[in-house]
Structure 1
Amino acid sequence: MELATLTGHSDDVNAVAITPDGKRAVSASSDETLKLWDLETGTELTTFTGRSKTVRAVAITPDGKRAVSASSDETLKLWDLQTGRELTTLRGHSAWVNAVAITPDGKRAVSAS
């Protein structure tokens, strides 16, 4: 049974991550954005911009305060979920970054390209 449909992206949604408390979700899209959603109300809370290509993956830190996105622009970006600000850009890949995971202590991200 479908509980809700979250609409707001203008292109394909490629990945979704849920905060540890189960109250919010972050979606990654080919429209070059991430969106933060309130899962209790279905409301879009924030749109994260600053990507220059498709956002392929997203992971949320264990404390639920930050997210890391992976993109076709060969980078990872760290975002503050409370303020919507980009905190840093991580470079090192020479092709699309297709996946990202965060270690259980929240101190490192592992990416695949």
Structure 2
Amino acid sequence: MSRKHIDHADIARFAQEKVNLPSDKASEYRAQVRRLRERLESYLSEHPDFSLKKILLSGSLAKGTALRSLNDIDVACYISGADAPESVSELLEYLSERLRKALVIPPKNNGVQK
């Protein structure tokens, strides 16, 4: 009974085929964030006093370590102003409202039919 040993090439091939996010998909996701950032920059050029100042790609996609099972894209948001809430839930709502305003996304209706 012989044993086949797994070498580096086997592990690298497995990672490429089963684990790592393909580069074309990574490029597509990075382009989505780039378009989002460009739309915000365009809005900021017309509204320099807006509290949401910058969006940057962050996390595994930015580092080039994203997995094939990527199910979210991390972005860092820079906010200025003393009126930004401190609690996480309030901050997320605050940020959501500003993103919808800057990117012209209709507000959620929370299941209410209009």
More strand by percentage: 1
TM-score range normalised by the length of the shorter chain = under 0.3
Query: Normalising by structure 2, what TM-score?
Result: 0.21
Which structure has the larger Rg over C-alpha atoms?
Answer: 2
More helix by percentage: 2
Greater RCO, CA 8 A, separation 6+: 2
